[in-house]
Chain A
Amino acid sequence: MVIDLDKCTGCGACAVACQQENNVSFRPDESDKLRTIAWMTLYRLDNGKDYPEHREAMLPRPCMQCDSPHHSPCTFVCPVNATVRDEHTGIVDHIAVRCIGCRYCMVACPYHARSFNWWDPKWPKTMEAMLSPEVSPRMRGVVEKCTFCHHRLNRARDRARINGEDPDGVVYTPACAEACPTGAITFGNLRDPHSDVARLAKDPRAFRILEKLHTEPKVYYLSSDQWIHKQSDNDLS
């Protein structure tokens, strides 16, 4: 995934679409942000300077689907193999029905990309009919996270099989990328050198968050502001 921060307006459509697509539960009072379940979170960045040099940017943060050798930080620590990286697709998935809720994966993730279900998932009665039948709601006491809309990939692969095409060559779009009104989110196969994401990942504006941690995130950001580049990696210049 490549997110162009120069294009991002911080409208939050990606977060809302993600919430709806993946049956992410919410509570009437969501003021405690440390207990909110959010697969896609928007961070507000600023350059720390006063007017007129003051600059701000919004940074959408999905799961980074870390590609670090051997294991991602979360898959390495899960005691029950509830979170695993599919080496074929590169997607780090989470098996909610196997999760024991120890939260070790949350602790190990530096991006806070994982949320815990502190309460039983509930939706207003009128919203229940709008839940996606393709994604199981998670129960209380387990962790959940962004899966790059893994169910959409499965749907695309099924369709390819029916059409007699190669299921490994399918292209799909996650809900966040689909909903972004400015086209700031580009999604594709980074391993395919001809894909848009592979091309954008090599753009001079491209950077990744906390590269020094060697987590090898598969989410790239684009920005023409150097202060954002510096800030994203603890100002290591």
Chain B
Amino acid sequence: MDKALIPEGVKRCPLPVFGLWMLVLFAVIAWGVYAGLTVLIKGLHVTGLNNYFGFGLYICVDLGIIALGAGAFFSGFMYYGLSRFFPQLKELHKIINLAVIVGFCCYTGALLVLLLEIGQPLRGWFGYWHANVHSMLTEVIFCISCYAIVLVIEFVPIILENRKLDAVKPLHIFGHNLHEIMAIFAMTGTFLSFFHQGSLGGVPGVMFARPFAYREGFFVWPWTFFLFTLSAMACGPAFTALICRLMEKVTRKQLVDRSVYELIGKIEGVLLLIYLILKGLDTLYWALDTAPGFGLKLSDFYKEPYGMWLLVAELGICGVIPVILLLTPQARKVNGLLFLAFFLDCAGIVINRFAMTVEALAIPVMPFDQWAVYIPTWAEWAPCIAMLAYGAVIVSLSYRYLPIFPRERELNP
């Protein structure tokens, strides 16, 4: 029925099966929309947030998903920028379309969830109108919206490659011309991403009265600014690779050459190692100098359920282990180990975002204050899960109707 829309020479599942899959995803999205409307109509009291936990699951998921979506900017930077000096990076061409689509889903999804997070969504535009240039959140607002526009521009030529759209000559010419200048947008995206990933790190880092989150830094940027950017680069392409692998498992097809995964593994291994070293130094300096300066010990920051296990999980299990796996050529050759490393890498970065937002607020700064625990409600889980379903819808539609994997035909004769 929809054969005319499917790229030439590739096989896709029957339309009813695809329709059923879409129905399931739309049901999840409907649940999320219902939860979102409940929040908008009734107010944020339906969430688990309170005066101690001003930030919760929404912010944590936003920060996590934006870090994971960094594959778009970093893969683009490597392919359009660095591949001129390192020709082996041209290999990323085989996965670059998926990276853009995943990035698009992550950023647009995060913006939708952000709309629920603020108490007065209709005043969201005040961020542009009454901007406080000292606030890291202002930088986040500007850079994320600009980068979301860049991602739309990057996504358009991929959409225009659809068989039917490509047959329309003006669209074909438009799409072709966009492709020609894509390097400019990729570089613009890299510039914007560097700043917004960093400013997301700056959000906790500049809170000089919150000893858990506060970091010293360089000029106006706390060290978390640079650590967040680096960690996003160290997990974004890994997340794209994980999504690609998931698609291969679902479709039972090989979509990219294995060499692409190995290349990503090598790059991510090196970046994660650099990140871990810097993060380790940052943690040590914070624990031995910054925190004692505020009259606190490292043990004051960790109490169940936000115990020391979070630090061990973030830097040990989800940091050291993936670095070892990704930097060992033999381990990279084993699918199970390679993708386990990618998964742990992504999980570690999400734990870091959780620690810097939620855990940071649980710690009583005043000695006579108390520890508090935050438990998200369904009204917070539902929009976040729906955001994942929204991403799955975009990726599924793109895979079915757009030639996003240039090697798919050759790999599946």
Q: How far is the CB of B104 from chain A (nearest CB, A)?
A: 24
Q: Which of B389-405 contact A (CB under 8 A)?
A: none
Residue in contact with B126 in the complex, picked from A76, A80, A140, A231, CB distance below 8 Å: A80
- B131 close to A100 (CB less than 8 A): no
Beta-carbon nearest neighbor of B127 in chain A: A79
Q: Which residues of A contact B211 (CB under 8 A)?
A: 213
Q: Please tell me if the beta carbons of B135 and A100 are within 8 angstroms of each other in the complex.
A: no
| B296 surroundings in chain A (CB, below 8 A) | 234
A63 within 8 A of B: no
Q: For chain A, residues 58 to 105, give those with C-beta under 8 angstroms from any C-beta of chain B.
A: 59, 66, 68, 71, 73, 76-82, 98-104
B210 neighbours in A (Cβ, 8 Å): 73, 107-108, 110
Could you write out 9 A-B pairs with CB less than 8 Å apart? A36-B51, A43-B369, A77-B203, A99-B123, A106-B51, A110-B209, A210-B365, A212-B294, A235-B295
Closest Cβ neighbor of A116 among chain B residues: B51
Once A73-B207, A79-B141, A213-B365 are accepted as A-B contacts, the answer to whether A118 and B134 lie under 8 Å apart by CB is: no
> On chain A, which size bracket covers the interface?
35 or more
The CA-CA distance from A111 to B209 in the complex, in Å, is 9
Given contacts A108-B207, A119-B43, contact A231 B134 (CB under 8 A): no
CB <8 Å contact, B208 and A73: yes
- B368 contacts chain A at the CB level, 8 A cutoff: yes
Contacts of A141 in B (CB 8 A): 43-44, 118-120
Which residues from chain A contact B127 at a C-beta distance below 8 Å? Answer: 79-80, 100
Question: Cβ of B206 < 8 Å from any Cβ of A?
Answer: yes
Q: How far is the CB of A10 from chain B (nearest CB, A)?
A: 13
Given A100-B126, A234-B296, A234-B367, 18 more A-B residue pairs with CB atoms under 8 Å apart are: A44-B368, A45-B368, A68-B208, A73-B209, A76-B134, A81-B131, A81-B132, A102-B137, A104-B135, A107-B207, A112-B51, A112-B366, A117-B119, A118-B50, A119-B45, A140-B43, A141-B119, A232-B367
Contact across chains for B209 and A213 when beta carbons are under 8 A apart = yes
A45 to chain B: which residues have CB within 8 Å? Answer: 368
For residue A34, CB closer than 8 A to chain B, the reply is yes
| Chain A 187-230 residues near chain B, CB threshold 8 A | 209-210, 212-215
Q: Across the interface, name the chain B residue whose C-beta is closest to A114.
A: B51
B211 nearest in chain A by CB position: A213
Q: State how many angstroms separate the Cβ of A230 from the closest Cβ of chain B.
A: 9
**In chain A, what residue has the closest Cβ to B292?**
A236
Q: Which of A44, A119, A213: most chain B Cβ within 10 A? A: A213
Q: B360's closest neighbor in chain A, by CB?
A: A107
Any B CB within 8 A of the CB of A24:
no
Tell me the complex Cα distance, A86–B50, Å: 28
CB-contact partner of B366 in A34, A66, A78, A111, under 8 A: A111
Chain B residues with CB under 8 A of A66: 209
Contact A212 B51, beta carbon cutoff 8 Å: no
Distance in Å: Cβ of A212 to nearest Cβ of chain B: 5
**Of the residues B119, B141, B293, B366, contact of A116 by C-beta under 8 Å:** B119
Contact A78 B132 (CB under 8 A): yes
Cross-chain contact A213 with B132 (CB below 8 angstroms): no
The answer to whether A77 and B368 have CB atoms under 8 Å apart is: no
* A residues in contact with B295, CB < 8 Å: 212, 233-236
In angstroms, Cα B296 to Cα A234, docked, is 7
Least Cβ–Cβ distance between B43 and chain A, in angstroms: 5
**Interface assignment of B158: CB less than 8 Å from any CB of chain A:** no
* Contact B366 A214, beta carbon cutoff 8 Å: no
* Cβ contact of A43, chosen from B137, B206, B368, cutoff 8 A: B368
Question: CB < 8 Å: which of A103, A140, A209, A214 contacts B54?
Answer: A103
In contact, B44 and A215 (Cβ under 8 angstroms)? no
A120 interface contact, C-beta 8 A? yes
A32 within 8 A of B: yes
Chain B CB within 8 A of A35 CB: yes
CA distance A116 to B49 in the complex (A): 10
Residues from 36 to 70 in A contacting B, C-beta threshold 8 Å = 36, 43-45, 59, 66, 68
| A116 to B119 CA separation, bound complex (whole angstroms) | 9
- State whether A234 and B51 are in contact (beta carbons under 8 Å apart), knowing that A79-B131, A80-B127, A213-B208 are contacts in the complex: no
Q: Which of A45, A98, A107, A210 has the most CB of B within 10 A?
A: A107
Residues of B within 8 A of A115 (CB): 51
Q: Which residues from B are CB-within-8-Å of A102?
A: 117-119, 137
> In the bound complex, do residue B137 and residue A234 qualify as a contact, i.e. CB atoms below 8 Å apart?
no
Contact with B along A113-148 (1 / 0, CB 8 A): 011111110000000000000000001111100000
Task: For residue A105, give the distance in angstroms from its CB to the closest CB of chain B.
Answer: 8
> Measured between C-beta atoms, what is the minimum distance from A233 to chain B in Å?
6
Task: State whether A107 and B126 are in contact (beta carbons under 8 Å apart), knowing that A100-B119, A102-B137, A213-B208 are contacts in the complex.
Answer: no
CB distance from A45 to the nearest CB of B (A): 5
Shortest C-beta distance, B135 to chain A (Å), equals: 4
Q: Does the CB pair A79–B361 fall under 8 Å?
A: no
Evaluate contact between B55 and A215: CB separation under 8 angstroms: no
- The smallest beta-carbon distance between A63 and chain B, in angstroms, is 13
CB-based nearest A residue for B140 = A79
Q: Which 9 pairs show the lowest CB-CB distances between chains A and B?
A: A101-B119, A141-B119, A234-B295, A103-B54, A34-B50, A110-B365, A79-B137, A118-B45, A106-B54
Partner of B294, one of A44, A79, A143, A213: A213
User: In the assembled complex, which residues on chain A have CB atoms less than 8 Å from the CB atom of B372?
Assistant: 34
Q: Which residue of B lies closest to A111 (CB)?
A: B366
* Contact residues in B for A16 (Cβ distance below 8 Å): none
Residues from chain A with a CB closer than 8 A to the CB of B50 are 32, 34-35, 116, 118
Interface centre among A34, A103, A212, A214 (most CB of B within 10 A): A103
